[in-house]
Amino acid sequence: MSRAKYNVLTINGGSSSIKFALYGVGATMQAALRGKIDRIGLSGTTFSFSDSFSYQQDSHGIEVADYSDAANFLLDWLAQKRDFSQISAVGHRVVHGMKHTEPEIISQSLLDDLRRYISFDPDHLPGEIDLIERFRTRYPQLPQVACFDTAFHQTLPRVAKLLPIPRRFDAMGIQRYGFHGLSYAFLMQALEQLAGKRVAQGRVILAHLGNGASLAAVRNGQSIDTSMGFTPSGGIPMGTRSGDLDPGVVEFMMQHEQLTTAQIKHLVNHESGLLGVSETSSDMRDLIKYESTDNRAAEAVELFCYQVKKHIGAYSAALSGLDTLVFAGGIGENAATVRARICSGLEFLGIEIEDQNNANNAEIISTKNSRVTVRVMHTDEELMLATTVCRVLNLAN
């Protein structure tokens, strides 16, 4: 296989990880290199990559103290592995851009705005901004494009965006934005390619279930509701995030333990969710492994499945029915027992699961008689980033 010219580098900065991919732009766009720095700032930080041309695999532990340290390591490693003169642009996943929703070339003005928004998303924006600035410092002439995770949900009807608080906050932009937009956009494109336009234009629920987790209701190819709200902390319980909470619970916790705003923010984002309920792990794989002997782990799994099931029911009502249910993300793609528990009891909606196909993580796990087609799909935020960069910069692909 001939070696393609590397054109687009994508950077997907999460709260505790940095994923990257390098794409050649041509008749087909394919990642020549993929990698991830995971568990940043924790003992046993791992770095892994794969080269699609040589099929080389590498995975090893590294010592990084924080996100900035990880960013420096990545830039140094990339400079050693690839000639940056061959890279045409860098695309960044930016989780929250408030009024910025459409992808745009990164400017100083945009960076200034993003800094003002840090308090709305303190888990993602600081690291994302840091990565952007480090690329600007080392490669000032290299175009960078911000791709906002909220873009997919701009079609939400007003009633789905509106929060039941005084209107003065609405005027400030406090509303439901929704996230995981890059993943959802990719899934909808992939669904149309796999099943045709008629299916993609039908009544679809997308369940992106991973350490961060959310659901979206899609009709006529457009998002009409989603579980995450003003920040990625809302919605269903996640690995370490609480999801939706009664405001009274937050007030009680703050008063009972004399917590500051910063401490409560850390509690609901880093000490809650699966980790908070199980008191042992935020990883669904661990919880499934130990739930038979640990009631706390069992309750964490049960709570997660119950909340996802509730949202599927609610979104089926918002859609006036359901044609397709898609599971994606690390849990959605790999945890057969979680999918089975979520779908159990939803037969009244027309959902019936074929056990063996589900156990095998098959592409379609619903039975032939199921009125709802239930799919397991791999999502690819990095590819969505690359195609978006090409569109914004008019690169041929």
Half-sphere exposure (Cβ direction) of 258: Cα atoms closer than 13 Å: 0
Q: How many CB atoms lie within 10 A of CB 230?
A: 19
3-state secondary structure 171-202: HCCCCCCCCCHHHHHHHHHHHHHHHCHHHHCC
How is residue 102 annotated by DSSP?
S
Distance between CA atoms of residues 306 and 341, nearest Å: 8
Q: How many CB atoms lie within 10 A of CB 200?
A: 21
Q: How many CB atoms lie within 10 A of CB 351?
A: 22
Task: Residue 9: name the closest of 55, 77, 62 by CA.
Answer: 77
Q: How many CB atoms lie within 10 A of CB 388?
A: 23
| Kind of pairing between the strands at 144-148 and 89-94 | parallel
- Cβ burial of 316 (10 Å; 0-12, 13-18, 19+) is buried
Element (H, E) at 336: helix 336-343
- Over the range 78-101, which residues count as b (16 or more CB within 10 Å of their CB) and which as e? beeeeeeeebbbbbbbbbbbbebb
Q: Is 46 helix (H, G, I), strand (E, B) or coil?
A: strand
Active-site positions read 149
- Over the range 25-57, which residues count as b (16 or more CB within 10 Å of their CB) and which as e? beeebebbbbbbbbebeeeebebebbbbeeeee
223 beta partners: 218
> How far from each other are the two terminal CA atoms of the chain, in whole angstroms?
19
Which residues touch 265 (CB under 8 Å, ≥6 apart)?
122
Residue 233 sits at the vertex; the CA angle it makes with 231 and 239, to the nearest 5 degrees, is 150
251 beta partners: none
327 beta partners: 207, 376
